[in-house]
Amino acid sequence: MPSPHFLPRTKASLAATLFSLLAALPTLAPAANAANAANAANAAALPDRGDAPVYGPQLEGFDYRWPVSRYRFHSQRQDIEMAYLDVAPAAGGVPHGTVVLLHGKNFCAGTWEQTIDVLHHAGYRVIAPDQIGFCKSSKPEQYQFSFQQLAANTHALLASLGIDQAILVGHSTGGMLAIRYALTYPQQTRQLVLVDPIGLEDWRAKGVPPVSVDQWYARELGTTAERIRNYERATYFSGQWSADYEPWVQMLAGMYRGPGKERVAWNSALLYDMILTQPVVYELKNLKTPTVLMIGDQDSTAIGKEFAPPELRAALGNYAVLGREAAAAIPHSTLVVFPGAGHAPQMQMPELFHAQLLKLLAPQGGR
């Protein structure tokens, strides 16, 4: 299996030239056999099963592999709680500091399980929170969601644990949050790793029409496992599927089958509004933290794409281009390209992804 391609961003012109050479290379297929591909096609067409799991609004009934802790705090005139995983480095190794894993919109702390295993065995303490509005954390009836608020919540969590500096690894929406965190708390951010971060373009400025929270809410009430699976297969995994992904589909869909589905859908609607209306792309040039961009070149994620005119959709979410542009804009950046990968290379190509992640992390001693 060929390695991903990576380059330090020294001169934008050099980055662009090398990136164009990468585009000419054969794509890298994940290790999936023909049987899995056939099963994927069949699974994607199946409706929800009658015995499909049902979970509570804070993902009650779905267990992560590690014990879940709760950080309780007061925010926006209410008491809320942030669920998080705190996994100590493996015994007997040299401690390398703390890595904070920030999940994406359709992900949770638990979906980082392979990454947590790798970092744990490599000597890192790993903190993986569920952000407010997601998964096992509170879903307030009213909350002014902003990336600034989520960054402040995360910073307060880390302070409560005695962590004064960490490496941030943000995937998808978690990448937008990681950028906001690093801009706000540069001294507390040792390194930034952005895994297919969304927000590398301003969708509204490119022509995506305004989408109201009520529109998002109506859309989210219609969430099913079939819809989640079809979207993830096409966008996250570049048209391929594995049975390994199915538990994460059921994790999300189970909350929409449960008694709190309206609260889950409402929080999801508020979060989509936050993502669409709070771009970070204009501030990439202000990042002072050494940054690694890890990009699947088949990724086509773009929030609000379905609401855009058909002639615009194909131009949105072109990560083969967006990754290059972001690397040129961010000072002190390194671009890693995974040919053939979609939006979630850490799940689609875990061995290759984690080998590169460990190689490029900046370890340090301490908590």
The rounded distance, in Å, linking the Cα atoms of 129 and 100 is 8
The rounded distance, in Å, linking the Cα atoms of 6 and 128 is 26
**pLDDT value, residue 48:** 61
281-325 pLDDT, tens digit each? 999 999 999 999 999 999 999 999 999 999 999 999 999 999 999
Work out the average pLDDT over 144-166.
98
Does residue 18 or residue 222 have the better pLDDT? 222
Per-residue confidence band for 3, with pLDDT thresholds at 50, 70 and 90: low
Percent of the chain with pLDDT over 90: 83
181-205 pLDDT, tens digit each? 999 999 999 999 999 999 999 999 9
329-339 pLDDT, tens digit each? 999 999 999 99
Work out the average pLDDT over 118-143.
97
Q: What is the mean pLDDT of the chain?
A: 89
**pLDDT value, residue 362:** 77
Per-residue confidence band for 34, with pLDDT thresholds at 50, 70 and 90: very low
Is 45's pLDDT higher than 70? no
| pTM summary value | 0.88
**pLDDT value, residue 95:** 85
Is 4's pLDDT higher than 50? yes
